[in-house]
């Protein structure tokens, strides 16, 4: 995996790519970028055929662990890994610890296990069980098990310290188990940077994790709006300064859902028709809207990269803010 970055001048940001991804090294991910969100290896509501009609699909897909853990026994018996099992053998797979689209109740992590929440309820995972599941999945990248249960404003210094201690302990155990796992020789483990909103603990987590032989880092706990923007920016800036630079870090009418949109849904169907599908609970509603949303999600990151390249990022920001105020 090679990160290539291009500085665009003072105040203009950076463009780049992650190249040499996957077992073959043939996949690249444009930066800034995003991953293809999936559930058990499938984009919600879409078949692999309909996904091909969405432009700009990234070459890296996210596999949230809760859904994959529920089919662990099947994958273990299959023995050839999740990529082939889900019909995406050429896609780079990243296995995240939690599903970003699903709530994760607080208060269930311990010194020995982390709790995940899937369709069947709560699952307790020790480091050993976690690595058993990763051996069955055989992902290209995976986030190490960690204790990120530190909601800003609710977790104090003592709880933040405990999250870092637990996460480093989990990381050490998982690294030892990975060394003994031939199925994971081609997989890259990402270490999670924890510590809530306590700067000292965030820095300790970053420094200690960077000492371990991880392939990349996950800055955990910055998603959502629980943490104040100023705090979040300060922590991210401080933490990234500690990490090595050579590792990665929707009104009824008969017009389209969005005027001028070139997606499959908007080119072939009207708002009125999509609304009818939603009212009658037709499965096709989710398919069409997911194709529309994916194309705009991927297109948004493409627009960011174009704006950086053309020194028009400030213009793009103003456009986005203006559109948001009109909604």
Helix, strand, coil content of the chain in percent (nearest 5): 45, 15, 40
Q: Give the residue among 118, 110, 91 at the shortest CA–CA distance from 36.
A: 91
Residue 98, annotated as binding a ligand: no
Q: Of 192, 72, 210, nearest to 144 (Cα)?
A: 192
| Helices marked H in 212-270 | 229-242, 264-268
Is 292 flagged in the annotation as binding?
Answer: yes
Task: Identify the residue whose tokens are 């000292």.
Answer: 200
CA distance 127 to 209: 16
Identify any residues that bridge with 142 across adjacent strands, giving them in sequence order.
95, 189
Q: 95 among the known binding-site residues? A: no
Is 263 annotated as belonging to a binding site?
yes
CB 62, CB 94: distance < 8 Å:
yes
Binding site members: 261, 263, 266, 292
Binding site members for Zn(2+): 261, 263, 266, 292
């Amino acid at each position: 995996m090679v990160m290539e970055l291009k500085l665009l001048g003072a105040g203009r940001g950076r463009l780049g790519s992650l190249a040499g991804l996957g077992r073959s090294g043939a996949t690249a991910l444009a930066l800034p970028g995003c991953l293809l969100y999936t559930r058990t290896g499938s984009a919600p509501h879409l078949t692999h055929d309909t996904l091909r009609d969405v432009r700009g699909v990234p070459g890296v897909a996210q596999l949230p662990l809760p859904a994959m853990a529920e089919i662990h026994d099947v994958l273990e018996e299959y023995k050839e890994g999740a990529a082939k099992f889900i019909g995406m053998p050429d896609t780079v797979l990243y296995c995240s610890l939690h599903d970003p689209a699903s709530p994760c109740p607080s208060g269930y992590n311990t010194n020995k296990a982390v709790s995940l929440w899937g369709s069947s309820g709560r699952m307790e995972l020790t480091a050993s069980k976690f690595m058993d599941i990763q051996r069955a999945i055989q992902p290209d990248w995976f986030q190490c098990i960690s204790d990120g249960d530190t909601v800003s404003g609710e977790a104090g210094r003592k709880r933040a310290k405990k999250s870092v201690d637990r996460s480093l302990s989990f990381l050490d155990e998982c690294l030892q188990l990975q060394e003994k796992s031939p199925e994971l020789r081609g997989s890259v483990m990402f270490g999670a940077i924890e510590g809530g909103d306590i700067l000292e603990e965030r820095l300790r987590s970053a420094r200690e994790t960077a000492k371990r032989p991880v392939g990349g880092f996950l800055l955990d706990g910055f998603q959502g709006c629980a943490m104040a923007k100023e705090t979040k920016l300060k922590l991210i800036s401080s933490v990234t300064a500690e990490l090595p630079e050579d590792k990665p870090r929707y009104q009824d009418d008969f017009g389209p859902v969005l005027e001028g949109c070139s997606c499959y849904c908007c080119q072939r169907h009207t708002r009125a028709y999509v609304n009818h599908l939603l009212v009658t609970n037709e499965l096709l509603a989710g398919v069409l809207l997911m194709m529309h949303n994916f194309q705009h999600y991927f297109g948004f990151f493409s627009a960011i990269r174009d704006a950086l390249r053309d020194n028009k990022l400030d213009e793009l920001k103003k456009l986005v803010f203006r559109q948001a105020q009109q909604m």
